[in-house]
């Protein structure tokens, strides 16, 4: 009765635009996790937060209350440990490139990743397209891999941030997902419980991002750096473009192949730029290089030398995967039985490629999940034959659809063609980075 009474007071105060106290926020989160505060009060509170927002201090308090709701992992205070997180996009395989790349330069990356949901892919799903690759390591295996290789990418194990799992499930069915304060606290609580002390965030903005408007994405980036300051975590947040897919490949095995190519210095240019830029911030945070220009140089050299690709091979092998994937991706990775080329009906310059549409069509091909329970097909997806700004002649390749059946391929090809918008005038290539908040 007392707890319920307190909860309704907190709801009312937030509803009226007041900031809640640290104790109030902790009591709400603890009370919700242990069942004293019912779903119906929490959902009303979340909707009030949707409308009123959270100040930096409230976000910090919410983050810490959630982080402390379950296990807290620690990797000690090694300053070379840096984590990386992306808010998710279409064709976003940056982690597959940047983690081995910076590890090859001396940064230590014990990274916990997630699975894909909706139109975006997940790093774990991509890695699992490599035969034998295990994303679930025991705590000992995880530590040993990080110690020996300098990097590991695993799924969340144990009871990490149960408050976030409960709250996210409730937000999902009460239209309260889309709140900067709640999103920022959710992401940061998982990073903090996972032991992060230095963190580079890639906040996606654009058609294919969860937060399409660049100013909202910047607000989210700012919120997460503010939480970082509040809890003593060093955070750099880049806001990057997700209007068109990142790189050329969308789909799990296809993206692994592209990431390996990029680690060998073969591009594509936007993926390489993003990996080098985010990686450079990681090197500076780790103290491996004193400034960004030198960090960029170092990583560009690491790419050309092939040491990033070697590191990826070590990591794959350490996690049980077939390391030969680095030398010959096509021989090792599963291939879709149907490949259908899609060509342009007219000539022009590519004005836009709708990342959301591409995300949805690859999800329908089986590359992603509509619901958490869905299985995915690692083989399917698309590769782009052109990017925004490219000149296309009539009949030129827009891309290739990789599908399980001819019917799937034809349906996807129609949607894929529609995702391209052509202009009759040259289109300047878009900027990848909107800005950096730290």
Closest CA to 245 of 384, 394, 369, 151: 384
Which one of 84, 111, 126, 190 is the catalytic residue?
Answer: 190
Q: Known catalytic residue: 83?
A: no
Structure-token pair, residue 356: 């959301």
Write down the least CB distance from residue 412 to a copy of itself, Å.
25
Q: Known catalytic residue: 186?
A: yes
Write down the least CB distance from residue 350 to a copy of itself, Å.
32
């927002």: which residue's tokens? 53
Kindly tell me which of 51 and 136 has the beta carbon lying closer to a copy of itself: 51
d(CA 135, CA 377): 17
Q: Known catalytic residue: 164?
A: yes
Kindly tell me which of 33 and 260 has the beta carbon lying closer to a copy of itself: 33
Kindly tell me which of 15 and 234 has the beta carbon lying closer to a copy of itself: 15
Kindly tell me which of 46 and 97 has the beta carbon lying closer to a copy of itself: 46
Q: Known catalytic residue: 327?
A: no
Write down the least CB distance from residue 366 to a copy of itself, Å.
22
Kindly tell me which of 173 and 339 has the beta carbon lying closer to a copy of itself: 173
φ, ψ for residue 328 (rounded to 5)? -140, 75
Closest CA to 314 of 302, 303, 305, 324: 324
Residues within the interface to a copy of itself (CB under 8 A): 4, 7-8, 11-12, 15, 38-44, 46-48, 50-51, 170, 172-176
Which one of 10, 113, 179, 186 is the catalytic residue?
Answer: 186
Write down the least CB distance from residue 121 to a copy of itself, Å.
24
Closest CA to 223 of 193, 190, 183, 175: 183
d(CA 7, CA 423): 55
DSSP strand pairing (198-205 vs 249-250): unpaired
Q: Known catalytic residue: 85?
A: yes
d(CA 173, CA 177): 9
Which one of 164, 243, 270, 377 is the catalytic residue?
Answer: 164
Write down the least CB distance from residue 169 to a copy of itself, Å.
10
Which one of 85, 93, 115, 204 is the catalytic residue?
Answer: 85
Q: Tell me the CB-side half-sphere exposure of residue 168, using CA atoms within 13 A.
A: 14
Structure-token pair, residue 26: 């902790």
CA angle 390, 396, 401 (to 5 degrees): 95
Question: Which residues are annotated as catalytic?
Answer: 85, 164, 171, 186, 190
């Amino acid at each position: 009765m007392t707890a319920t009474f307190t909860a309704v007071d907190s709801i009312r105060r937030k509803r009226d635009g007041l900031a809640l106290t640290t104790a109030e926020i902790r009591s709400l989160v603890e009370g919700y996790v242990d069942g004293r505060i019912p779903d119906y009060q929490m959902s009303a509170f979340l909707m009030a937060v949707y409308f009123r927002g959270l100040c930096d201090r409230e976000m910090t308090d919410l983050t810490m209350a959630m982080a402390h709701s379950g296990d807290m992992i620690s990797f000690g205070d090694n300053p070379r440990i840096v984590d990386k997180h992306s808010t998710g996009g279409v064709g976003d395989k940056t982690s597959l490139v940047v983690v081995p790349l910076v590890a090859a330069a001396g940064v230590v990356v014990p990274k916990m990743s997630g699975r894909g949901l909706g139109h975006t892919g997940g790093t774990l799903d991509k890695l699992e397209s490599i035969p034998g690759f295990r994303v679930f390591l025991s705590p000992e295996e995880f530590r040993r891999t990080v110690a020996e290789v300098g990097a590991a990418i695993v799924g969340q194990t144990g009871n990490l941030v149960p408050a976030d799992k409960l709250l996210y499930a409730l937000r999902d069915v009460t239209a309260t997902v889309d709140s900067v304060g709640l999103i920022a606290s959710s992401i940061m609580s998982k990073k903090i419980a996972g032991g992060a002390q230095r963190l580079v965030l890639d906040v996606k903005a654009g058609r294919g991002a969860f937060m399409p408007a660049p100013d909202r994405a910047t607000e989210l980036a700012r919120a997460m750096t503010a939480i970082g300051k509040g809890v003593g975590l060093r955070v750099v947040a880049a806001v990057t473009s997700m209007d068109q897919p990142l790189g050329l490949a969308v789909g799990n095995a296809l993206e692994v192949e592209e990431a390996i190519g990029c680690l060998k210095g073969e591009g594509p240019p936007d993926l390489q730029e993003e990996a080098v830029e985010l990686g450079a911030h990681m090197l500076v945070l780790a103290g491996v290089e004193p400034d960004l220009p030198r960090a960029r140089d170092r990583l560009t050299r690491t790419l050309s030398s092939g040491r990033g690709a070697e590191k990826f091979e070590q990591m794959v092998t350490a996690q049980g995967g077939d390391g030969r994937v680095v030398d010959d991706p096509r021989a090792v990775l599963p291939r879709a039985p149907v490949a259908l080329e899609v060509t342009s009906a007219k000539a022009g310059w590519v004005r836009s490629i709708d990342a959301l549409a591409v995300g949805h069509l690859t999800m329908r091909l089986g590359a992603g999940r509509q619901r958490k329970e869905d299985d995915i097909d690692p083989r399917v997806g698309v590769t782009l034959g052109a990017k925004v700004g490219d000149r296309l002649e009539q009949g030129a390749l827009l891309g290739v659809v990789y599908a399980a059946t001819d019917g799937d391929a034809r349906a996807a090809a129609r949607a894929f063609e529609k995702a391209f918008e052509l202009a009759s005038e040259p289109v300047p290539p878009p900027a990848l980075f909107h800005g950096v908040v730290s």
